[in-house]
Amino acid sequence: MNISDLKPIFVLNGPNLNLLGGREPEIYGTSTLAGVKSLCLETARTLDVDLVFEQTNHEGALVELIHRAGAEGSAIVINPAAYTHTSIALLDAIKGVDAPTIEVHLSRPVARETFRAISYVSLAAAGAISGLGAYGYALGIQAAVHLAKARAKFKT
Ligand code: DQA
C-alpha cells in the first residue's frame, strides 16, 4: 500500500492552546498555535499524508472532533490540554473510535503539579510524547503515520 493512500491524520488541540506564544512561555515555549500548525503541515507533507488541524476550547466539541477523526481519518494526534487530567468523555471518545491515538504535550505534565500527573487520555492512547515543545507534534505525527500504515497493511 502506498502511504499517500492513508486517510488524513487529525491533529486536535484542547483549551487555551489558542493562546500559545504568549501563554506561560517559560513552560509552553514561544511558538504560536499557527507556528505549531505550520510545523505539522510540513511534517505531513514530508510523509506524504494529508492533515487536519483543529483547536477548540470546548470539551463536547473535542469529543465531536474525535468522532469525526474516527470516521474520516486514519489516526489522531491530540493535545487535550487541561482536559487530559479531567475528561472521561475524551477517554471514552478515543476508546469509541477505531483510530490509533498519540497524546502530545508541550510541557512535561508529570514533572509539574500533582494533578497533572493523571491522564485519562493515556488510558486509551497508543503512545505519548511530552516535554519536547512543538517538536513533540512532529514526532507525534510520525508515530501516528507509522501506526496507521501498519494497521492498513494488517487489514489488506
Ligand atoms: C499541556 C499540559 C496540560 O497540563 C495543560 O493543562 C495544558 C497544556 C501541554 O501541552 O503541556 O493546557 O497539555
CB 92 within 8 A of CB 62: no
pTM of the model: 0.96
The domain that holds 55 is classified in CATH as 3.40.50.9100
Whether residue 120 lies in the annotated active site: no
Task: Determine if ligand 1 sits within 6 Å of the CB of residue 33.
Answer: no
Tell me what pLDDT residue 4 has: 57
Please tell me the distance from the alpha carbon of residue 9 to that of residue 51, in angstroms, as a whole number. 5
- What is the count of structural domains for the chain? 1
- What cell does 117 get? 500527573
Tell me what pLDDT residue 5 has: 84
Residue-number span of the structural domain to which 41 is assigned:
3-155
Task: Determine if ligand 1 sits within 6 Å of the CB of residue 79.
Answer: yes
Pick the residue whose CA is nearest to atom 6 on ligand 1.
82
Tell me what pLDDT residue 24 has: 97
For the purposes of burial, counting CB atoms within 10 Å of the CB of 33, is it exposed (0-12), middle (13-18) or buried (19 or more)? middle
Please tell me the distance from the alpha carbon of residue 93 to that of residue 66, in angstroms, as a whole number. 6
The pLDDT tens digits along the chain (156 residues) read: 444 589 999 999 999 999 999 999 999 999 999 999 999 999 999 999 999 999 999 999 999 999 999 999 999 999 999 999 999 999 999 999 999 999 999 999 999 999 999 999 999 999 999 999 999 999 999 999 999 999 988 776
Tell me what pLDDT residue 155 has: 72
Ligand 1 nearest atom to the CA of residue 130, by list position: 11
Tell me what pLDDT residue 1 has: 43
Ligand 1 nearest atom to the CA of residue 104, by list position: 10
Whether residue 28 lies in the annotated active site: yes
Task: Determine if ligand 1 sits within 6 Å of the CB of residue 29.
Answer: no
Please choose, from the candidates 76, 89, 72, 81, the residue with its C-alpha nearest in 3D space to the C-alpha of residue 20.
Answer: 81
| Residues forming beta bridges with residue 13, ordered by sequence position | 55, 79
